[in-house]
Chains A and B, each alone.
Chain A
């Protein structure tokens, strides 16, 4: 009971001071509003920036997520090519990946991929330009989790025998006006005829990882494309056994490729191995840096707001000098006066924080409604609200301290005589 007494008394005093402060703010509505504009702007901008970053992060991470976090990209690094001859050397050749699974225990699957962009496909007189034609191996189906909604996936035989078969996505099926059961019919890719063996679900267009804007995709067996177009650009997508093993897999692949391509020790890699995990880490780092920078800018505006608070509290103290004198005369301790003015400053700042968070929510909604900004997932996370109020409260405490101390130190007689 005795232990409870002090905190309880303190709580009661804070509570009373808070009511008093609210009354003061209500009585000086215009002044309070103008004073807190600094805090409002500070809090609104911090919440809006955090909301935007949160939205961006959610968007980017979901992009990565759909890509699969255990994926590893292998591509020739042409940037280190100095001569045309080197260019040929750097180019990937399908053979060098033979035996990669045996040498790289952390790698579960890989597929060679080659892409031909902007091809025309046609079916019974209807044609669609700007179609992405992708040469893949059957393991692609395990790496990319894309459902085959009709027919069958590619088989090893399709690839090894360079069969003239294709998979199309539902969008192609739709655009070419093909009947619902289209497996077995043939389409033209460029001048060549391919038989449709399966239909793959269309994926929502990725805004980050390119692709054609049309969203039309046709898949051919890798070797089929290769035979038609032996110098087409090829790369490899591998999958590690788990996202945790991505870094191990990366190291194993790099070692394997250096050996295959006979790169001397000390020479740089002429290929790139990128892990999705790594992109995510990089992105998080950048997002963190942006948050910090934003926090810095916001800190400045909060300091400016705090000076405003200090100013108005000083005015308030000198206006209410007689009141302070009376309160002291009837038994208010200096600490009670200090607390009253501190709480008033903090409540003022909280009020600013509340308006700021509301304004930030307004800004966030506005941002989310701009489609080009890709921020439809932007929202103010709970911790940002807590942070805003924390900052606002801290500003109130810091900048309210000087006026409050001034009030607490007033001499009761002088204060009572104050005009």
Chain B
């Protein structure tokens, strides 16, 4: 297993109120899986991403990444894990505006303290992988949105991470460009990369091989994509009128309702308030 989460809770205290962003969540992700995490805002998916990315620590529980328990590590060791094992792709790209594409991709290698000739070689290779061989010297403001995201993906891949974490990677892109980026993800997945992607768009999630649905800090549905599509329409119809209804959700998670089969995809609105 690349990722093993056990009984993860994350509690934020806001004044006197306690918010359980993650509530006893357990999850395993294996080698070369391609999973999408879905959920409404407030469902805890961002918190989960932060913990998976070692940017945040759970209040309790154990997180094992690539066989290493990260929950007991110090800040320096966590930085090293982020550097060597994790590649991040963000919704807003987060490129350094004044650095060229190549320099942006080199950034993680600088913190890995690799020699500059190695750095150049690996950064070039990563940019080749994402198909930006001819854009290496360009600055972010000379690149299109899709190209910027490719640079970001190259930066995420440059250290050969155990896992690629993408947080709404197509959130700022038009549908054609989104499709390009997702095709790139598919390609990376075929090459053996483990990918976890957060999204709230069903169209995007469909590219993954596994869909993890969250609500109220728990996973209520974790199915291969084909089954999820069928299951989800039913639950969303059931849950829609009752926005913050809990209890039912957990039961549903245990025995998903799969009777009604609606083969047409992408007709429902995931984000209905």
Name A's B-contacting residues (CB within 8 A).
Answer: 9, 12-13, 16, 23, 27, 322-323, 325-336, 412-413, 416
Instruction: Give the docked Cα–Cα distance between A412 and B79 (Å).
Output: 10
Given contacts A9-B113, A13-B113, A413-B50, contact A333 B80 (CB under 8 A): yes
Q: Does B258 contact A (CB under 8 A)?
A: no
Given contacts A412-B55, A413-B50, contact A332 B98 (CB under 8 A): no
Q: Which residues of B contact A12 (CB under 8 A)?
A: 113
Identify which of B26-34, B83-91, B222-230 touches chain A.
B83-91
Contact of B84 with A331 in the complex, beta carbons under 8 Å: yes
Contact of A330 with B111 in the complex, beta carbons under 8 Å: yes
Instruction: Give the docked Cα–Cα distance between A10 and B232 (Å).
Output: 53
Q: Which residues of A contact B155 (CB under 8 A)?
A: 330
Contact of A330 with B108 in the complex, beta carbons under 8 Å: yes
Q: Which residues of B contact A413 (CB under 8 A)?
A: 50, 55-56
Q: Which residues of A contact B132 (CB under 8 A)?
A: none
| Binary flags per residue of B61-75, CB closer than 8 Å to A gives 1, else 0 | 000000000000001
Given contacts A12-B113, A413-B56, contact A326 B80 (CB under 8 A): no
Instruction: Give the docked Cα–Cα distance between A327 and B99 (Å).
Output: 13
- Minimum CB distance partner of B83 in chain A: A331
- Minimum CB distance partner of A329 in chain B: B88
Q: Which residues of A contact B112 (CB under 8 A)?
A: 331
**Which 8 pairs across A and B sit closest by C-beta, in order of nearness?**
A331-B83, A330-B108, A333-B79, A331-B111, A326-B94, A412-B55, A331-B82, A332-B111
Select which of A23, A27, A333, A416 is within 8 A of B75 by beta carbon: A333
**Given A331-B108, A333-B80, 6 further pairs, Cβ under 8 A:** A325-B94, A327-B107, A329-B55, A331-B84, A332-B79, A333-B79
Given contacts A23-B98, A416-B90, contact A327 B111 (CB under 8 A): yes
Instruction: Give the docked Cα–Cα distance between A186 and B152 (Å).
Output: 101
Contact of A334 with B53 in the complex, beta carbons under 8 Å: no
Select which of A27, A331, A336, A412 is within 8 A of B98 by beta carbon: A27
Instruction: Give the docked Cα–Cα distance between A412 and B111 (Å).
Output: 15
B198 → chain A closest CB, angstroms = 14
B48 → chain A closest CB, angstroms = 12
Complex A-B: 5 CB contacts under 8 Å: A326-B96, A332-B83, A336-B79, A416-B55, A416-B90
| Binary flags per residue of B33-73, CB closer than 8 Å to A gives 1, else 0 | 00000000000000000100101100000000000000000
Q: Which residues of B contact A325 (CB under 8 A)?
A: 94
Q: Does B76 contact A (CB under 8 A)?
A: yes
| Binary flags per residue of B93-133, CB closer than 8 Å to A gives 1, else 0 | 01010100000000110111100000000000000000000
B162 → chain A closest CB, angstroms = 13
- Minimum CB distance partner of B155 in chain A: A330
Contact of A323 with B96 in the complex, beta carbons under 8 Å: yes
Name B's A-contacting residues (CB within 8 A).
Answer: 50, 53, 55-56, 75-76, 79-80, 82-84, 88, 90, 94, 96, 98, 107-108, 110-113, 155, 159
Instruction: Give the docked Cα–Cα distance between A325 and B56 (Å).
Output: 12
Given contacts A12-B113, A329-B55, contact A335 B76 (CB under 8 A): yes
Instruction: Give the docked Cα–Cα distance between A247 and B170 (Å).
Output: 90
Contact of A331 with B79 in the complex, beta carbons under 8 Å: yes
Instruction: Give the docked Cα–Cα distance between A207 and B22 (Å).
Output: 87
- Minimum CB distance partner of B107 in chain A: A330
Instruction: Give the docked Cα–Cα distance between A327 and B50 (Å).
Output: 15
Q: Which residues of A contact B76 (CB under 8 A)?
A: 333-335
Q: Which residues of A contact B98 (CB under 8 A)?
A: 23, 27
Q: Which of A323, A332, A333 has the most CB of B within 10 A?
A: A333
B54 → chain A closest CB, angstroms = 9
Instruction: Give the docked Cα–Cα distance between A400 and B155 (Å).
Output: 30
Q: Which residues of A contact B84 (CB under 8 A)?
A: 331
Instruction: Give the docked Cα–Cα distance between A199 and B115 (Å).
Output: 77
Instruction: Give the docked Cα–Cα distance between A78 and B159 (Å).
Output: 90
Q: Which residues of A contact B55 (CB under 8 A)?
A: 328-329, 412-413, 416
Contact of A334 with B75 in the complex, beta carbons under 8 Å: yes
Contact of A330 with B82 in the complex, beta carbons under 8 Å: yes
- Minimum CB distance partner of A26 in chain B: B98
Instruction: Give the docked Cα–Cα distance between A27 and B50 (Å).
Output: 32
Instruction: Give the docked Cα–Cα distance between A2 and B258 (Å).
Output: 61
Q: Which residues of B contact A322 (CB under 8 A)?
A: 94
Instruction: Give the docked Cα–Cα distance between A16 and B96 (Å).
Output: 15
B204 → chain A closest CB, angstroms = 21
- Minimum CB distance partner of B50 in chain A: A413
A373 → chain B closest CB, angstroms = 48
Q: Which of B96, B110, B155, B159 has the most CB of A within 10 A?
A: B110
A364 → chain B closest CB, angstroms = 38
Instruction: Give the docked Cα–Cα distance between A198 and B111 (Å).
Output: 83
Instruction: Give the docked Cα–Cα distance between A332 and B110 (Å).
Output: 9
A310 → chain B closest CB, angstroms = 24
Instruction: Give the docked Cα–Cα distance between A314 and B53 (Å).
Output: 28
A309 → chain B closest CB, angstroms = 22
Q: Which of B56, B76, B79, B83 has the most CB of A within 10 A?
A: B79
Instruction: Give the docked Cα–Cα distance between A240 and B82 (Å).
Output: 79
Contact of A333 with B88 in the complex, beta carbons under 8 Å: no
B108 → chain A closest CB, angstroms = 4
- Minimum CB distance partner of A10 in chain B: B113
Contact of B79 with A328 in the complex, beta carbons under 8 Å: yes
- Minimum CB distance partner of B87 in chain A: A330
Q: Which residues of B contact A412 (CB under 8 A)?
A: 55
Instruction: Give the docked Cα–Cα distance between A332 and B80 (Å).
Output: 8
Instruction: Give the docked Cα–Cα distance between A68 and B75 (Å).
Output: 69
A105 → chain B closest CB, angstroms = 73
Instruction: Give the docked Cα–Cα distance between A296 and B128 (Å).
Output: 59
B164 → chain A closest CB, angstroms = 13
Instruction: Give the docked Cα–Cα distance between A323 and B96 (Å).
Output: 7
A153 → chain B closest CB, angstroms = 76
A363 → chain B closest CB, angstroms = 36
Instruction: Give the docked Cα–Cα distance between A13 and B53 (Å).
Output: 24
A31 → chain B closest CB, angstroms = 15
Instruction: Give the docked Cα–Cα distance between A328 and B50 (Å).
Output: 12
Instruction: Give the docked Cα–Cα distance between A327 and B94 (Å).
Output: 10
Instruction: Give the docked Cα–Cα distance between A59 and B75 (Å).
Output: 60
Q: Which residues of A contact B53 (CB under 8 A)?
A: 329
- Minimum CB distance partner of B81 in chain A: A331
